[in-house]
Amino acid sequence: MNLFVTGATGKVGSRFVPRMLQRGHHVKLLVRDAAKADWLQRQGAEVVEGDLLQPDNYVDALRGTDAVIHLAAQFRGVDENTTRISNFDGSIALAHAALTADVPRFVFSSTNNVYGSVNRSRPNREDDELSPVHPYPQSKVEAEEALLRLHREQGLGVRIVRLPFVYGERDPHITESLPFFRNWNPAKRIHMVHHADVSQALMLAASAFDIDGRIYNVGDDAPISVSELLQLHQSEISSEGLQQDFDPWDMVVDTTRIRDELHYRPIYPSFYSARDAGAI
């Protein structure tokens, strides 16, 4: 396949792109600074230097593309306005460029944080009402809605993939998040997914026929408790965390749809299986 990938130097993209190159796909990368993607270019990727908000600079590079894989996003460490410009404005600019270039498939990477905590008494499903709390998932919800509108009105071949907590392959994501976990009730569980299974889910979404406008939750088979994560990383449970109320289904998703429709099966069904395989 001819793939056009954004966010190639981020946590997800930097693990996704090498896999695609190893499998023989032709991969173009849209990056702001070509020097940061030099290591991917040496592996065979084609680098396009440009800005998401200036599609005239990259629309020609989109022609002949089979699928856009849109991973670029701002998550932490920036203000709310910057988050929205990157996650909403950038996504819509890219979608319009994809329509102009007649790209048939547009995979949008979203988050399971779009669900919020609303006490559904069951795992979150793709068609549930969304209740995001923070700017990052709020911007993702706005982008999802706008992309689905472009699908209905202009035929954008969008497929939305909602990722949980991503880990593995020397990604410091867990270590970076330990300060937050310490303040959560240790009985709280969260869905996770290994980078290998993120790549699997993205490519299933990119290659499947007749799924335009569909949304898919991604996760492994065994949500893990905060207590386990803290203990596995030699981090103490805080007394404050023990006092916190929590929704037992917050950050836990139903993956039936992606299993049934795209035949997704996790390579690493749990954190423990990834650890035992040396894939952390």
Mean pLDDT of 190-196: 98
Burial of 180 from C-beta contacts in 10 A (0-12 / 13-18 / 19+): exposed
CATH T-level topology, domain 2-168+193-219+253-268? Rossmann fold (3.40.50)
Query: What is residue 80's predicted lDDT score, i.e. its pLDDT?
Result: 87
The verdict on pTM exceeding 0.95 is yes
| Strand 67-70 versus strand 46-49 pairing type | unpaired
Q: State residue 268 phi and psi, 5-degree precision.
A: -115, 95
What tens digit of pLDDT does each residue of 85-139 get?
999 999 999 999 999 999 999 999 999 999 998 888 999 999 999 999 999 999 9
Neighbours of 74 (CB within 10 A): 19
Of the pLDDT bands very low, low, confident and very high (cuts 50, 70, 90), residue 152 is: very high
Structure token pair of residue 119: 């006490």
Of the pLDDT bands very low, low, confident and very high (cuts 50, 70, 90), residue 279 is: very high
Domains of the chain, residue spans: 2-168+193-219+253-268
Task: Give the Cα separation of 218 and 258 in Å (integer).
Answer: 7
**Residues ≥6 apart with Cβ < 8 Å to 28:** 2, 3, 4, 5, 45, 46, 47, 48, 61, 65
pLDDT tops 90 at residue 66: yes
**Residues ≥6 apart with Cβ < 8 Å to 78:** 86
Q: In which element (H, E) is residue 203 found?
A: helix 195-207
